[in-house]
Amino acid sequence: MTAAIAIIGGGFSGALLAIRLAHAAPERVVHLIERRRRAGVGLAYGACEPHHLLNVPTSRMKVGLEPGFTDWLHARTGFRPPEGIAPADAFAPRALFGAYMEERLAETHSVRRIRGDAVRIARAERQVLLADGRAVDADIVVLATGNRAPPPLRFAHDSANAAPDPWSHDAFDDLHADAPVLFVGVGLTMVDIALSLAARGHRGEMIALSRHGLLPTRHEAGGSWPAFLSTVDATSVRGAMALVRREIAKAVAAGVPWRRVIDAARPEVARVWRAWPQSERARFLRHARIYWDVHRHRMAPQIADALDALLASGQLRVVAGRLAGSDADGVRVRLRGGGEEILRVARVFNCTGPASDFSSTEEPLYADLKRNGLVRTDALMLGIETEESALVDASGAVSDWLFALGPLTRPAYWEVTAVPEIRAQVDALSQRLLQHAPLPATDLADVFGDLGAGI
């Protein structure tokens, strides 16, 4: 009897795996379990508005399906890029990519869609149990739950004026257009929420707070740079960052945007990360992560222009510091340069990014997996331990029936966020599951390296 596969999570990763399995083996029983009404879109491509654009050009959104996303954009939606920009180089609305994936999934009739919230995996019974009491038969289970809600803010999460999850449906409720607001975190989530408020006609001051006060950078087209990063030359964080800085200096001197240097380094990141001991990984997270993030995860030019307009008008200001407390007078901020400032705001938006620490999670599914020793959290609190997408249990054994995709597997690769990476991970896992192979044919970090700068 053919083993049934249950995929928990119907966002991009889970939906793409379901489609891959269905195309390769339509007779296979594949369950796709998703708590939301829509599958295929997830948070990234579902909880967004028309002004939210992809963070990369459409050419980097190839997922190996037909029609391709760029062709579908033109034929299905009539999308037109700004004048002078080729469709492949354009930054399309994120919601359109969500609609594209949703349509591809809907065409895959052999996938059994199940709307529900998975709370337990019963290995002996070979079932995934849902919150409402239903049971889904599954010999193989793949966790594709994507990014989680942000971790609670220490001083603001219990306040009536807090928005613990900026993507929740009520985050903007009862907010007066002239009310000042605070964003904790200044990454791409902050940019999205600030632009959403502006699109709603918000006139109040927006204050963005982070430890360093560093905003994401913008994309810039043109130029190319050869691969240069390797495990031999980047045996430490200090050495790797020094190498990147030297290459950037050479690129700028040659008239090449520094973005091409980051793009050239990106495919080797997983191999470098895997070669580092835990002490170097921890050092990177403490000292270099913020600088990597603001240069790697960039804004579409149109988004950067809109953010610059908010900054130039004075409606948005960026503060370097950290939360120090909250009381009736307002939110106290300890400034990076010294001193404190009291911010009187009507809402505090938690834009610190998704939680990744599973060590004390109360989420039913992961709490149950931990309780039964089926999952091991990593010491750096980035996700869960995996070996080529297979879960590592509490004893260190690698599972032959329980797997994970996407952000959950960050401890193994540091970054598994770009569409080309996730596509490679999905392709490797689908082949492994269909061939009943104990291990994939190629180390996934090597596959990422072969993808080149388009990653």
Query: Phi, psi at residue 18, to the nearest 5°?
Result: -60, -45
Predicted confidence at residue 205, as pLDDT, reads: 98
Same CATH fold, 162-217+299-350 and 5-148+355-454? Answer: yes
What gap in Å lies between CA 7 and CA 286, rounded to an integer? Answer: 34
Q: Coil, strand, or helix at residue 59? A: helix
Predicted confidence at residue 159, as pLDDT, reads: 67
Query: Phi, psi at residue 204, to the nearest 5°?
Result: -70, 160
Cβ pair 171, 39 in contact under 8 A: no
10 Å CB burial of residue 300 (0-12, 13-18, 19+) is buried
Cβ pair 28, 21 in contact under 8 A: yes
Query: Phi, psi at residue 333, to the nearest 5°?
Result: -120, 130
In the 8-state DSSP scheme, what is residue 17?
Answer: H
User: No. of H helices and E strands in the chain?
Assistant: 15, 17
CATH number of 162-217+299-350: 3.50.50.60
Strands 330-335 vs 316-327: parallel, antiparallel or unpaired: antiparallel
Q: Under the phi-then-psi rule, with left for phi > 0, alpha for psi from -120 to 50, and beta for the rest, what region is 213?
A: left
Query: Phi, psi at residue 146, to the nearest 5°?
Result: 70, -160
Domains of the chain, by residue range, sit at 5-148+355-454, 162-217+299-350, 237-296
Predicted confidence at residue 328, as pLDDT, reads: 81
Chain segment 166-205, per-residue pLDDT in tens: 999 899 999 999 999 999 999 999 999 999 999 999 999 9
In the 8-state DSSP scheme, what is residue 86?
Answer: -
Tell me, rounded to whole angstroms, the distance of Cα 32 from its chain centroid: 20
CA torsion 38-39-43-44 (nearest 10°) is: -120
Predicted confidence at residue 123, as pLDDT, reads: 87
Per-residue pLDDT of the chain (455 residues; tens, 9 = 90+): 578 999 999 999 999 999 999 999 999 999 999 999 999 999 889 988 999 999 999 999 999 999 999 999 988 888 888 888 888 899 999 999 999 999 999 999 999 999 999 999 998 999 999 999 999 999 999 999 999 999 988 775 556 788 999 999 899 999 999 999 999 999 999 999 999 999 999 999 999 999 999 999 999 999 999 999 999 989 999 999 999 999 999 999 999 999 999 999 999 999 999 999 999 999 999 999 999 999 999 999 999 999 999 999 999 999 999 999 888 888 999 999 999 999 999 999 999 999 999 988 889 999 999 999 999 999 999 999 999 999 999 999 999 999 999 999 999 999 998 899 999 999 999 999 998 878 777 889 989 988 877 77
Q: How many CA atoms lie within 13 A of 3 on its CB side?
A: 16
Q: What's the chain's length in residues?
A: 455
Cβ pair 259, 224 in contact under 8 A: no
Q: Coil, strand, or helix at residue 75? A: helix
For the record, the structure tokens of 350 come out as 């938690």
Distances (CA, A) of 455 to 189, 260, 412: 21, 12, 17
Predicted confidence at residue 77, as pLDDT, reads: 87
12: number of Cβ within 10 Å: 27
Predicted confidence at residue 279, as pLDDT, reads: 97
For the record, the structure tokens of 397 come out as 């054994």
For the record, the structure tokens of 7 come out as 């995929």
Peptide bond into 354 cis (omega under 30): no
Cβ pair 328, 133 in contact under 8 A: no
Strands 118-122 vs 127-130: parallel, antiparallel or unpaired: antiparallel
Please name the fold of domain 5-148+355-454. FAD/NAD(P)-binding domain (3.50.50)
Of 431, 434, 372, 378, the C-alpha closest to 407 is 378
Predicted confidence at residue 212, as pLDDT, reads: 96
